[in-house]
Amino acid sequence: MLQWLRDRFRRGPVVPVVRLSGVIASGGLLGRAGLSIETTAPLLARAFAQRGAKAVALTINSPGGSPVQSALIAQRIRLLAREKNLPVIAFVEDVAASGGYWLACAADEIVADGASIVGSIGVISAGFGFKDLITKMGIERRVHTSGENKSMLDPFRDENPEDIERLKRLQGEIHAGFKDWVRERRGGKLKGIAIASDRRSPLLPNVPTFQEGGLDYRTGTWFGLLAPARTPEGIVATLHRTVAEVLREPAVHDRIVEQGAEVIGNTPAEFRAFLKEETERLAVVIRNAKMQLD
């Protein structure tokens, strides 16, 4: 009888669950309580302090929001995980996008449904312009500032190109930090099996192509500049030279590589030969598959 009572009331493994649902924002959004370090810190502290806990689970359903609050919450999760020496597992429900994915990356494992929206590693800033509206309504805008850039991106004035450039620099810095976080937390989690193009990628030099593995399969995307057939050779040469110069610019070249593409820069003759080869190859595929265009 005593053993039965022990078995009946013995506690099994404990896994506290913290629900992270909603837009990530300090102070909430439109009167609704959002996810912020202020609202989540007590929940996280209680979960990691749970007696007998073997792990902590996060259920995430968030489209993102503030990058600052996302970073603060994620840092708190990692701090507590190291302090308590507990693994963290994130379970994605409908969405863990942008800042929501930032939170998911704080976990040691991410579990998602096949229909879950996961990722969206980027930065966005959106707004409206009301300059013409207030003019039509007879409203006069009065702004008095001291110091430079104190009225940046005022929605009641024309956009200033300098303000836009400054915003893009800020977005670039935040985006770079986001990517660094993903690399830190998710780097090495995925393993490349094969490259779908007909040659190895310089970004993944150790990953073979499908053809190297004995599978006759290749696919890819290419971009090129086309001109009408009767375009004079001099104009074609000028266009090619100009595009080649742009592609050699470090900022352009690096940006293309960051997107996972390869800068080739064929000559016009090489590009013509490539198009001829692709056309013949695809014609065989279309014929063998008996495809028809409606």
Q: What is the pLDDT of residues 106-164, one digit of tens each?
A: 999 999 888 888 888 888 777 777 777 777 787 877 777 777 777 777 777 777 788 88
Distances (CA, A) of 276 to 157, 229, 280, 286: 52, 14, 6, 15
Q: Is residue 223 part of a domain?
A: no
Q: Residue 262: which pLDDT band, with cuts at 50, 70 and 90?
A: confident
90 assigned to some structural domain:
yes
pLDDT tens for each residue of 24-44: 998 755 556 678 999 999 999
Mean pLDDT of the chain, nearest integer: 82
- Kindly tell me if the per-residue pLDDT of 181 is higher than 50: yes
Number of domains in the chain: 3
Q: What is the pLDDT of residue 216?
A: 72
Is 4's pLDDT higher than 70? no
pTM, entire model? 0.62
Instruction: Identify the pLDDT of residue 1.
Output: 43
The answer on pLDDT for 244 being more than 90 is: no
Q: Is the pLDDT of residue 67 over 80?
A: yes
| Distance between CA atoms of residues 182 and 186, nearest Å | 5
Q: Examine the domain organization and report whether 115 and 19 are in the same domain.
A: yes
Task: Note whether 116 and 35 are same-domain residues.
Answer: yes
CA angle 112, 24, 122 (to 5 degrees): 70
Kindly report the backbone phi and psi dihedral angles of residue 243, in degrees, each rounded to the nearest multiple of 5, phi listed first. -65, -40
In tens, the pLDDT along 199-235 reads 777 767 788 888 887 777 766 677 788 888 888 888 8
* Residue corresponding to tokens 């090489």: 270
b/e map 18-32, b = 16+ CB within 10 Å: bebebbbbbeeeeee
Give the span between the Cα atoms of 150 and 157, in whole angstroms.
Answer: 13
134 shares a domain with 43: no
The whole domain housing 259 covers 233-288
